[in-house]
Structure 1
């Protein structure tokens, strides 16, 4: 039996078709990403997002601790029970750049506070009200890292009074006075921007001139930091 010969042009077309299919297969294999890579891509995106969030949080924390950048306004009421004085006070408080410790733990910092107060004399003879102007550096230690930020504070500052007495029974000789203070309080809310606290304050002229009875003030205050 004579063998049937496949025409040459048919063989060429078959070979070309086979080569074309092989080339497409190679291209698909070359461009197809590995199966495990497609699974890794979402994880990589999540890690990138987490890093951005953590970076933003750290930046906010660092910004909060920058000195002088976020002043606080304060309103206070104080009472001297020995001499019958009510004091109404407003103040501006600053965090200075001087600080030491862990921003997410125990932190020591130096603050500066400028205040203006009105003394309302409510007892004694020849009563006289007066104004107080003061400036105080404050050493503060606080426990950060939670919603509530408790703190202790102490300071020694300068005071200038518009009169030297509030009554005949309370004459303190000089308009220039020193103010010593110890206190405690707690911050809360976003960035612990709201604070409430209590202070004991002693104001006197440190014996520069007699009489020097001193003024002891028990103070409560509320503060908001911008």
Structure 2
């Protein structure tokens, strides 16, 4: 069985497991589409699903913190002159966010961070040997919620994929990301 089939199977199992949760309510779900721009001619699209939109947790020293899980499927392309490469990644990440301000008195501004795991199809991509099919997905960004009942959001974030030193080859892949998400 090849790696692309493994990713497809893992994605379907992850989504079906998340959907089967007894605590899943339609109002707590969200979907997102992201555009990723990386170094040189590296770009991509990221489709994400959040089975639990937010769970507010109060930490005495930090205040209210929103926590949610996100499963995503990434399509990356690298094109340099006559050479074109494609890579796919499946990721699962816990994401933490906290409101730090309000724009115009009604649009919450939040920072976010998260470290998850991902599985990529090719270990040689964008002129690099990334060392492993298994990568960590790190993110740091800013989110603005808007729209009816604040169901929509846009985010700008930095995302980094690397194997975290689990392999001798670990150059990592860096992306700037623009995202639109909508709670269902």
TM range (shorter): 0.7 to 0.9
State the 1:87 CA deviation: 1.1
Q: TM-score, normalised by structure 2?
A: 0.75
Instruction: Determine helix, strand or coil for the equivalent of 1:128.
Output: strand
Match of 2:109 among 143, 147, 150: 150
Instruction: Determine helix, strand or coil for the equivalent of 2:122.
Output: coil
Whether the aligned pair in 1 keeps the contact of 2:100 and 2:111 (CA below 8 Å) is no
Q: CA RMSD in A?
A: 2.3
Instruction: Provide the aligned length of Structure 1 versus Structure 2.
Output: 154
Instruction: Determine helix, strand or coil for the equivalent of 2:85.
Output: coil
Gaps of 5+ in 2: 1-22
Show the counterpart of 1:204.
Answer: 162
Show the counterpart of 1:58.
Answer: none
Show the counterpart of 2:72.
Answer: 115
Q: Find the aligned partners of 1:205 and 1:125 in 2 and give their Cα distance.
A: 29
Which runs of structure 2 are paired with 1:1-226 in the superposition (5 Å)? 68-69=24-25, 70-82=28-40, 84-93=41-50, 94-100=52-58, 107-123=64-80, 127-142=84-99, 147-167=106-126, 169-226=127-184
- 1:123/1:136 Cα in 2 relative to 1: closer, same or farther (>3 Å)? same
Whether the aligned pair in 2 keeps the contact of 1:171 and 1:212 (CA below 8 Å) is yes
Q: Work out which structure has the larger RCO, using CA pairs closer than 8 Å and 6 or more positions apart in sequence.
A: 2
Q: TM-score, normalised by structure 1?
A: 0.62
Higher strand share: 2
- 1:97/1:124 Cα in 2 relative to 1: closer, same or farther (>3 Å)? same
- 1:75/1:181 Cα in 2 relative to 1: closer, same or farther (>3 Å)? same
Structure 1 range deviating more: 116-125 or 134-143:
116-125
Moved beyond 4 Å, runs of 4+:
124-127, 143-146
State the 1:109 CA deviation: 1.4
Gaps of 5+ in 1: 1-66
> If you compute each CA radius of gyration, which structure gives the higher value, 1 or 2?
1
